[in-house]
């Protein structure tokens, strides 16, 4: 079984609140310890409710937004105003509602040619971290039904990437935009904390496979932190097959 903390909460609302509590606590600790917090947002639909909670009381005023830097785990190769943009979702629900300085929102420039966007984002990361490797305080990740995370998809050559921090990718997943820019495993695995947010019964099978090992390897299993904490925050529906195993009622 993957060496990780697994937290199961009753439903998607509870998942969003637990994620908001952890986000707030981790950001406050990072700012207290290091004067700033670097947080990577995931795309997809799962984090929507979390973003809305962070933009409102009681969480919003507990977060030192002036010291927060936001990044993305991946972006679709679309303009920032496109419906498929991960940035647009976060901008509408969260960023437009909180006092984060605009130059602390490190958008992936999805409107540029993929290789140009990837190089620009990688330079942004290296400038921010003043060195070759990032060390994010918190990385939020989702899990696809095929075991992908960020835009690291099954059988992708990027799964073997050990040098680049950011790379173009292509995806065929639920009709979402195919062109992607993604963080690679080396960019994620140096994080202090990675928090997967997974909800819904459609994810129950892949959650069991990723966490318990049958089948695979899946991209999400490539998340192995060198010096950090890996946590999986699941609602009961997504954890259903895990819990069945633990109670022995196969
Ligand atoms: C993306 C995400 C992707 C997402 C998973 C889960 O750009 O789509 O980064 O990795 O997190 O596909 O998506 P849902 O939360 O919508 O199930």
- Which pLDDT belongs to residue 250? 44
Instruction: Record the tokens describing residue 228, joined without a space.
Output: 């950090």
Which residue's alpha carbon is at the smallest distance from atom 2 of ligand 1?
43
Q: What is the DSSP secondary structure assignment for residue 61, as one 8-state letter?
A: G
**Predicted confidence (pLDDT) at residue 215 exceeds the cutoff of 80:** no
Indicate which atom in ligand 1 lies nearest the CA of residue 76: 7
Cβ contacts of residue 94 below 8 Å, gap of 6+?
A: 51, 52, 54, 55
- Which pLDDT belongs to residue 213? 79
- Which pLDDT belongs to residue 247? 61
Share of the chain above pLDDT 70, in %: 96
Per-residue pLDDT of 62-82, as tens digits, reads: 999 999 999 999 999 999 999
Å from CA of 10 to ligand 1 middle: 21
Indicate which atom in ligand 1 lies nearest the CA of residue 142: 11
**Predicted confidence (pLDDT) at residue 107 exceeds the cutoff of 50:** yes
**Contact indicator for 86, 177 with CB cutoff of 8 Å:** no
Identify which of 22, 25, 17, 38 has the alpha carbon closest to the alpha carbon of residue 192: 38
* Confidence (pTM): 0.96
Q: What's the mean pLDDT when you consider all of the chain?
A: 95
5-249: which CATH number, 2.130.10.10, 3.40.50.1360, 2.60.120.1440, 3.90.1150.10?
Answer: 3.40.50.1360
Å from CA of 46 to ligand 1 middle: 7
**Contact indicator for 178, 172 with CB cutoff of 8 Å:** yes
Say if ligand 1 is within 6 A of residue 45 CB.
yes
- Average pLDDT estimate for 190-215: 94
Q: Which parts of the chain are beta strand (E)?
A: 5-9, 37-41, 68-72, 74-76, 138-141, 166-170, 179-183, 193-198, 229-235
**Predicted confidence (pLDDT) at residue 249 exceeds the cutoff of 60:** no
| CA 72, 77, 83, 84 torsion-angle sign | negative
Domain coordinates in residue numbering, the chain: 5-249
Residues in the chain: 250
Cβ contacts of residue 192 below 8 Å, gap of 6+?
A: 26, 30, 135, 136, 137, 138, 227, 228, 229
- Write down the residue that tokens 């420039």 correspond to: 109
Say if ligand 1 is within 6 A of residue 201 CB.
no
Q: Which parts of 108-228 are beta strand (E)?
A: 138-141, 166-170, 179-183, 193-198
Identify which of 74, 68, 69 has the alpha carbon closest to the alpha carbon of residue 89: 74
Cα–Cα distance measured from residue 158 to residue 171, given in angstroms and rounded to the nearest whole number: 12
Say if ligand 1 is within 6 A of residue 75 CB.
no
- Which pLDDT belongs to residue 214? 65
Separation of CA 204 from chain center: 19
């Amino acid at each position: 079984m993957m060496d990780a903390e697994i937290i199961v909460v009753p439903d998607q609302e509870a998942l969003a609140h637990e994620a908001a509590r952890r986000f707030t606590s981790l950001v406050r600790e990072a700012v207290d310890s290091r004067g700033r917090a670097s947080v990577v947002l995931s795309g997809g639909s799962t984090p929507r409710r979390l973003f809305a909670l962070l933009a409102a009381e009681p969480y919003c005023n507990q977060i030192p937004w002036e010291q927060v830097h936001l990044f993305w785990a991946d972006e679709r190769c679309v303009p920032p105003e496109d419906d498929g943009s991960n940035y647009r979702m976060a901008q509408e629900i969260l960023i437009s509602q909180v006092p984060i300085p605009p130059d602390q929102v490190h958008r992936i420039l999805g409107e540029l040619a993929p290789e140009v966007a990837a190089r620009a984002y990688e330079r942004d990361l290296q400038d921010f971290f003043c060195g070759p490797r990032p060390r994010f305080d918190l990385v939020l990740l989702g899990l696809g039904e095929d075991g992908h995370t960020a835009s690291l998809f099954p059988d992708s050559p990027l799964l073997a990437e050990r040098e680049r921090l950011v790379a173009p990718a292509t995806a065929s997943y639920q009709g979402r935009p195919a062109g992607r820019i993604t963080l690679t495993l080396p960019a994620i695995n140096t994080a202090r904390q990675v928090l997967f947010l997974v909800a819904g019964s459609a994810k129950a099978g892949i959650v069991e496979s990723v966490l318990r090992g049958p089948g695979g390897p899946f991209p999400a299993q490539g998340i192995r932190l060198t010096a950090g904490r890996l946590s999986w925050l699941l609602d009961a529906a997504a954890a259903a097959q895990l819990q069945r195993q633990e109670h022995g009622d196969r």
